Chain A
């Protein structure tokens, strides 16, 4: 967030010291995450409502999602959270090499998630499961299944946009880290980006069972 400081170590002019600056960044990110909770929250309310209105359709539509790819993606994201937290840890102890390595790993894993997601999306296009005029779903629940897929694409799409933003932010931080911008005293951008990354992971932790595991029994 605020990286107004002129040098790598000094705090920005309007803060009294490094601690105040770091605490401000952390609190700022948590505040932002609260807005994110409410942002995704609206979608979850819609999901809860329509799932309880159309349980059979949601069950049937959910079976059309690829469980294997979904599960693999969950694993990929959890791995990326691990590498992210290790990046923060190395930043805390001033190990720039490790920081760079773990940032790269996180970016690679995040991108892998998106590639797999893109595969899933292209399958859905093939199967005419994109909501709208081309949507086709055999059986009595066509319209209600379309609702499931509308929510599926909104939820996973917004999640993917958050991933893309996260990868963008991490790439900038990677560039800065390589140039020695971060030290054991000044690493709050890494810390704060980590919070964001983990939050996006948490969202997926809920999306995965809600979308892929409605009724596998």
Chain B
């Protein structure tokens, strides 16, 4: 910061955004808050790339015939949509943006334990992204985001290698972030901040990091084996060459089922913060919430075989995986009940973040319950690879994870930028997101139940009405994603106007200025009380 010319400006704008100027100060930063912003930019780009593919997919499905793209192109579109959205948006979304920004702030630390690794993780992410984008402009990839062998290893003629390398590299960026969170949460909490005083967002970040650390290496080695097989022309997974394709599925889902929890658990953390804040009540059953998060993270590792009921897996294994899958419903239900109980008799303030939280709770519940249909052996045989599955996981991953992400962005935007967005527009877009989402995906439950298979570019005439509804919904949904972009960016033109704690929320991040200074706190905070002490307001009302 420096000289006399800007003196008055420097005095007024003493925060992490103004801690340095120029591109270099951002690209070489080790400040967790700036790295969060870098991630926000990167993943937003990938979100719109993935969204563009979704738009083309829905456009094609307007009519039963194939009129816009060929079958091959369609295969590439849904593959790239899945790869980009899952690996490049959903997995890093909340941890890398909100987590990076908030974890040190919420525990009263100056930074994450390993700031340089944190920056490295962003570069690793982008290198992985470049591989994926290269494959994209080079003709795409058509294996489905699951890269099932032997199609991916032997038969596909598309750009499997660069995409797989991209996903492999990307895994390291999640691992670095997760490792950083684990060590930071263990070792750098402010004095007095014991485990059961931590905000639930921290619990969620911790659980997510544990999953990332334990599961991501397995997909990394699996992709290595796939590359080896494809490049050397040997048969690790190819049955024609003595390999076993189901092994690939085991190893793949050992990661990819827990990966669903990497996407949803951080959202649960966000929703817990938002619900308790706007209900002006303590979170109901705090300890149960913390235990439930950890239980979901751990049970999540025992259920992967529910993706393989019809793959040739043993029926006994299928039975066990089915039973274990039902177990995950227990902690998930605990969370939903506790959010509801928190809202019950709360003095709910209807601001934008809680609208997203409402959306999350409802959509996640639908997604979770339809998941039980798919975890049941008998119904799954009928529903596997139909639009029912597509609808189910979009309810979890878009209705759940993305709603949580956007809710979190709206909740902490004033903290991140020091500005408040336009509340009317924000509420409006939250509403049309909810409507658009349901219009897009609810018809797909019906389509799947009626037997429409996923991953085809044409379909019988009788499915057209529902498909047109779905496409119409997707258009509204798309609009719902573009509007926030506009008003959030627009808010940056305003003066800083929010003060330290615009929502009257608890938590250490709301005790420092908005946006925070580079070292977060003027003085290391000392924590004495419980989390979520929203009692005072109630007393006022009494």
Contacts and interface: CB of A to CB of B under 8 A. Distances in A.
**A–B direct touch in complex (beta carbons closer than 8 A):** yes
Interface of A: 1-2, 4, 13-16, 20, 23-24, 27-28, 31-32, 34-43, 45-46, 49-50, 53-54, 131-133, 135, 143-144, 146-147, 150-151, 154, 158
Interface in B219-274: 220-222, 224-225, 228-229, 232-236, 241-244, 247, 250-251, 254
Given A35-B216, A54-B242, A14 B221 contact: no
Contact of A28 (B114, B218, B222, B244): B114
B217 A24 contact: no
Interface in B301-342: none
Interface stretch (B92-100, B181-189, B508-516): B181-189
A150 B244 CA distance: 14
A2 B115 contact: yes
B183 A24 contact: yes
Contacts of B519: 13-14
B179 A132 contact: no
B180 to A, nearest CB: 8
Given A28-B183, A49-B244, A132-B233, A35 B217 contact: yes
Closest 6 CB pairs of A and B: A42-B221, A39-B217, A14-B111, A38-B217, A14-B110, A131-B234
A144 B187 contact: no
Contacts of A31: 179, 182-183, 213
Given A41-B218, A146-B242, A150-B228, A46 B236 contact: yes
B232 A131 contact: yes
Contacts of A14: 109-113, 115, 188, 519
Contact of A24 (B116, B188, B235, B250): B188
A132 B233 CA distance: 5
Contacts of A46: 225, 236, 247, 251
Interface string B178-203: 01101110111000000000000000
A49 B235 contact: no
Nearest to A34: B213
A199 to B, nearest CB: 13
Contacts of B229: 150
Q: How large is the interface on B (under 10, 10 to 19, 20 to 34, 35 or more residues)?
A: 35 or more
B215 interface: yes
Nearest to A43: B221
A49 B242 CA distance: 12
B109 A2 contact: no
A88 B165 CA distance: 36
Given A24-B188, A143-B241, A38 B215 contact: yes
Nearest to A57: B242
Contact of A42 (B186, B188, B217, B233): B217
A144 B242 contact: yes
Given A27-B183, A38-B218, A133 B233 contact: yes
Contacts of B228: 150, 154
Contact of A20 (B114, B179, B188, B221): B188
Given A14-B109, A23-B187, A147-B242, A154 B114 contact: no
A132 B110 contact: no
Contacts of B217: 35-39, 41-42
A146 B254 CA distance: 26
Contact of A1 (B114, B188, B234, B241): B114
A151 B247 CA distance: 14
Nearest to A28: B183
A146 B235 CA distance: 8
Contacts of B187: 20, 23-24, 27
Contact of A39 (B182, B183, B221): B221
Given A13-B519, A49-B244, A154-B228, 10 more contacts: A24-B114, A38-B218, A42-B222, A46-B225, A46-B247, A49-B247, A146-B241, A147-B235, A150-B234, A150-B235
A39 B220 contact: yes
Contacts of A4: 30, 115-116
Contacts of B234: 131-132, 135, 146-147, 150
Nearest to A38: B217
Contacts of B247: 45-46, 49
B163 to A, nearest CB: 19
B38 interface: no
Contacts of B183: 24, 27-28, 31
Nearest to B220: A39
27 contacts: A1-B117, A2-B113, A2-B115, A13-B519, A14-B111, A23-B187, A24-B183, A31-B183, A31-B213, A34-B214, A35-B216, A36-B217, A38-B217, A39-B217, A39-B220, A41-B218, A43-B225, A45-B250, A46-B247, A135-B234, A143-B241, A144-B242, A146-B234, A147-B235, A147-B243, A150-B234, A151-B236
A136 to B, nearest CB: 14
A176 B188 CA distance: 27
A41 B187 CA distance: 28
Contacts of B254: 42
B175 interface: yes
A28 B30 CA distance: 18
Given A1-B114, A2-B115, A54-B242, A35 B175 contact: yes
A25 to B, nearest CB: 8
Contacts of B225: 42-43, 46, 154
Given A38-B214, A154-B228, A28 B235 contact: no
A35 B214 CA distance: 6
Contact of A150 (B215, B236, B251): B236
B393 to A, nearest CB: 24
A1 to B, nearest CB: 6
Contacts of A27: 182-183, 186-187
Nearest to B240: A143
Nearest to A135: B234
Nearest to A46: B247
A132 B215 CA distance: 30
Contacts of A32: 179
Nearest to B241: A143
Nearest to B251: A42
Contacts of A50: 244
A154 to B, nearest CB: 6
A121 B180 CA distance: 38
Given A14-B111, A28-B114, A143 B235 contact: yes
Nearest to B222: A42
B91 to A, nearest CB: 15
B218 A39 contact: yes
B116 A2 contact: yes
